[in-house]
Amino acid sequence: MPTLFKSLAELLEKIENTRKRLEITALTADFLKTLAPEEVEPAVSMILGRPFTKWNPKTLDVSWTTLTAILQTVTGAGWNAFAEAFRDTGDIGSATKSVFEQTKLKKQAQLLEKELTVPEVRRMLEAIAETTGSGSREKKERLITALLSQASPVEAKYLVKIFTGEMRTGLHEGLMEQAVAKAFEVPLATVQKASMAMGDIGEVAAIAKEGGKDALTNISFRLFRPVKLMLAQTAADVAEALEEQGGKTAFEYKYDGARVQIHKQGGEVRIFSRRLTDVTQSLPEIGEVVKANVKATDAILEGEVIAVDAAGSPVPFQHLMRRFKRVHEVTGMAEKIPVRLFLFDVLYLDGKSLITAPYLQRRQILGENAGDIPLTTQIVTDDRDEAERFLQRAIDAGHEGLMAKKLNSPYTPGTRGKRWLKIKPVLEPLDLVIVAAEYGHGRRHGWLSDYYLAARDAETGEFQTVGKTFKGLTDAEIVEMTKLLKAIAVSEEGNRVIVLPKIVVEVAYNEIQKSPKYHSRMALRFARITRIRYDKDAEGASTLERVRMTYEQQFAKKGRYKAE
C-alpha cells in the first residue's frame, strides 16, 4: 500500500517539535525505511520543502496571492481569519492548519474518505507544474483546489509549506544526509560524496534504498545537474589571509559580478546561477564563448560574469541583474548591457572529477582548457606588501577586493570554510532577508519603503530581525520592491505588512550593537540597502552566527563595556 501523505506530515510535526539533532535524524531514518523505492525521492524532496529534485527545472509557479485565494475558497474563511491565525502562530503553515481545524467543512470531510498518498501528491504537483499556456492559471487553480480539498489540517499545513518553500522545520540537508546514512546503513562520507556529485540528496536516498553503499560509491558528476558551490569565509585583510593559509597564497580579483557554474557536453552548454537555476537563455553570448573556446567534450567550470561598459570597465551589479532577469528580447538587452566571463575553477573534465585535486593544479588545468576566455586576475605570493599592492590594483580597477585561496585545497561543494577567504577593504555587507515593511510618508506614501531586515538561524531556519532601514533604494527600486512585497504579503498590522522571507538585499552598516529591541538581541547601526540580491535566495542569506561573529570582531580594534 502506498505511503500516506499524512504519515509524512505527522513526521514533520514531530521534527518541528524537537531541537535534538539525534532525535530528528532517528525519526527521519525510521520513516525512510518504511518507504517503497519509488517513494523515497519524492518524500525526501517534500520533507525538505521542495516539490521536485533540486536540479529539476520544473516550478509550481503559483503566487502567494493565488494560493491565499484558493485557501479561502477551500475553507470558506476570509482573509482576516488567516491574518489572525498568522499573528497567533507566526508561521504560514501553522496558520493554515489552524484555519482548516476551525472550519471543518462538510465537503472536506467527505473528500477525506480518500486519503492522499506520497506518490499521488507528487503526481498532482507535477500536473500543476506542467500546466502552461492559455487558460493555465485557471487549470492550476482547479488542481490546487482539488489537492487542498482532500487534505486534512496537518496535511494542508505542509502542502502550503511546499508550495511556498517555507518548510523550516530544523531538518536541513546535512541532517537528511545523516538520516539517509542511518536508514540504509551506508557510511555518512559515502552519502555526502554522492550528494555532492548528484546535487540532490533525494536521488541519493533512492539509490541507497535499492543499491546501498556499492551503488553510491560509483556515482560521479552528471552534466546539466548543478553542483553545490564551495563558499568562502571573510578575512579582515591580506595579513590575516596569509596567516590563516600558512604562507604562500593565491590572491585573485573579487569581481562585482554574478557567480556562474557552466556545464558543457558536446555542443550543448548550460549556465547555472549561484542559486543553481538555469540562466542559459539570459546569457546567450556566454554560452557561445564557451562553445568556441573550451575544446573538452565534457566540462563543469566555474566563473564570474560581470557587466561592462563600452570601454570594458565593470559597471554596477544591479545592471548585471537586469540581464539575469531577462528571458525575452535578450539580444537587445545584450547590446545595452554587454557582459564578460572570467573563469576561476574547473570541477570536471572529460569524465574525470577534479574536486579532490589541489587548487593550484585545477587552476593549471583550467588555463590549459579555457582557450581565449580570461581567467580571474591572480598572483601567488607570501609577501604581504605585494598582496596589499595587488588589492589596491583590484580596487582601482573597479572590483570589490580579493579572494585568497589555499594552494593545496580541494573543492568542497556546499561548504563554507577558510580554504577560500574574501577580502574587502571596508566592513563587509550582510545579505539579509526582508521579513516586513512599512508604508512611507510624504512622497513615499503608498510605497512599502521601510524594511525590516533579518538573518537566518542556521539551526532552526528561523529568520530573526537585526535591523530596519528606509535608505539605499531609488524611487524606481522602491516601486518595484512594493510590488514584490505585496505579492508575498501574509498579514497587515496597521502600517506594517508582514511578508514571506523571500527577498534578499545586501545591507551596509557602520557597526553592530547589542539591542533588546529585536529577538536576535542585535541591531545594525545606520543600515542601508546597497543592492537587491536577485541572484540569492533566503537560504543563501547571512546567518545569525555570521552577525554575532562580526559583532565580536568589532572588539579587536575597540574597547568593550564590562557589561558586555
Count other C-beta atoms under 10 Å from residue 318's C-beta: 14
Among 438, 405, 399, 398, smallest CA distance to 420 is for: 405
Contact 538, 505 (CB under 8 A): no
Number of helices (H), then strands (E), belonging to the chain: the values are 21, 19
CA distance 99 to 86: 10
Task: Please tell me the distance from the alpha carbon of residue 302 to that of residue 341, in angstroms, as a whole number.
Answer: 10
What whole-number distance in Å separates Cα of residue 41 and Cα of residue 203?
A: 5
Q: What is the DSSP letter of 78?
A: -
Question: To 10 degrees, what angle do helices 79-89 and 64-75 make?
Answer: 110
Q: H-helix or E-strand containing 493?
A: strand 489-493
C-alpha cell at 423: 577580502
Beta carbons of 200 and 53 less than 8 angstroms apart: yes
- Do residues 58 and 42 touch, judged by C-beta distance below 8 A? no
Of 54, 97, 254, 405, which residue is the catalytic one?
A: 254
* The three cell numbers locating residue 171: 531538518
Contact criterion met (CB below 8 Å) for 16 and 170: yes
Burial of 88 (0-12, 13-18, 19+ CB in 10 A): exposed
Q: Residue 3 and residue 117: Cα distance in Å, rounded? A: 6
* End-to-end Cα spacing for the chain: 59
E strands, 237-377, where? 249-254, 258-265, 268-272, 298-307, 339-349, 352-353
Collapsed DSSP state (helix, strand, coil) of residue 419: strand
Question: Quick one: cell of 283?
Answer: 546569457
DSSP strand pairing (528-532 vs 489-493): unpaired
Work out the number of other CB atoms within 10 angstroms of the CB of residue 353: 17
Query: Residues for the chain: how many in total?
Result: 564
Q: Which residue has the cell 503526481?
A: 123
Residues in Cβ contact with 529 at an 8 Å cutoff, skipping those fewer than 6 apart: 451, 469, 471, 472, 473, 505, 506, 507, 508
Strands 416-423 and 231-235: parallel
In the residue annotation, 254 being an active-site residue is answered as yes
Active site (catalytic) residues: 254
